[in-house]
Structure 1
Amino acid sequence: MTEIRRGTLQEQTFYEQVGGEETFRRLVHRFYEGVAGDPLLRPMYPEEDLGPAEERFTLFLIQYWGGPSTYSQNRGHPRLRMRHVPFKVDQAAHDAWLRHMRDAIDELGLSEEHEQTLWKYMTYAAASMINSPG
């Protein structure tokens, strides 16, 4: 049996572990299906078609979790809080956003460890976007 030297196997990124681009496209598509019918969140997406927002969010998550850096190549630094300033993000918007994200994550069928890692990030991100009392 050949010994594998320590450090020769490259660790997979979270992006690769959960299935790569297809997984993140499924996640974000399902999330935006919920947003499309949400009277609180839908007005925060001024474009008639949610497609551009869906694509931006997909590319952001892909890059964040270790996939290609297409998001930064196209849009520069994420600057998430700055990009959300024009919109009133209060506790109700936070809760609605997480409700749709929870549904989307649940439908992915990830391992418990991956699901918890993703959910922990989403709850942190949602909390950090709150910019209005209420």
Structure 2
Amino acid sequence: MTSTAPDDSPLRADTLYAAIGGHETFVRLVEEFYRGVATDPVLVDMYPEEDLGPATERLTLFLEQYWGGPGTYSETRGHPRLRMRHAPYKVNPDARDRWLTHMRAAVDSLGLAPLHHAQLWDYLERAAHSMINTFDD
């Protein structure tokens, strides 16, 4: 069984993207995550835009592509280069822990099956640890 991406291109059914509900689920995840970020003085200062809308769109596209959804992120922004894109910001253990707190709440809000929850959370936790670029306060 295949479904379609928001741009009507076919998607493989054997991806986490398809298994957890596709675009709508990733939109819910990222919107819930940024609700937390918006209230976090450490994290919100890392976003140069006046609002978090552009960041919300970028993270949604990235996560969708990573988990088997449409390749819109790479088509519009090129290779993810996560560490490079985060290099200008002070990502220390405190920032990582705050990011993980808001992301955990967002993942938990989805009510995913335990296997899907674990797969998604494992990746997000490893990604957050890999973004640390300083141990300074």
Q: Verify same fold: TM over 0.5.
A: yes
* Matched residue, 1:91: 93
* Matched residue, 1:75: 77
Q: Secondary structure at the match of 2:42?
A: coil
* TM-score, reference length from structure 2: 0.89
Change (3 A) 1:87 1:67: same
Deviation, 1:11, is 5.2
Matched, 1:40 2:42: yes
Equivalent residues in 2 for 1:1-134, closer than 5 Å: 12-134=14-136
The alignment of Structure 1 onto Structure 2 pairs a total of residues equal to 125
Rg comparison, structure with higher value: 1
The answer to which structure, 1 or 2, has the higher relative contact order (CA under 8 A, 6+ apart) is 1
Q: Deviations over 1:74-133 (max 9, x none)?
A: 000000000000000000000000000000001000000000000000000000000001
Q: Distance in 2 between matches of 1:101 and 1:64?
A: 16
* TM-score, reference length from structure 1: 0.91
Structure 2 gap segments, 5+ residues each = 1-11
Q: Report the residue type matching 1:33 in the other structure.
A: R
Deviation, 1:12, is 1.5
Deviation, 1:41, is 0.3
Q: Secondary structure at the match of 1:48?
A: coil
Q: Distance in 2 between matches of 1:11 and 1:54?
A: 25
Q: Report the residue type matching 2:104 in the other structure.
A: R
Q: Does the Cα contact within 8 Å between 2:13 and 2:19 map onto a contact in 1?
A: no
Q: Does the Cα contact within 8 Å between 2:86 and 2:131 map onto a contact in 1?
A: yes
Q: Report the residue type matching 2:101 in the other structure.
A: R
Q: Distance in 2 between matches of 1:87 and 1:77?
A: 19
Q: Secondary structure at the match of 1:44?
A: coil
* Matched residue, 1:6: none
Structure 1 gap segments, 5+ residues each = 1-9
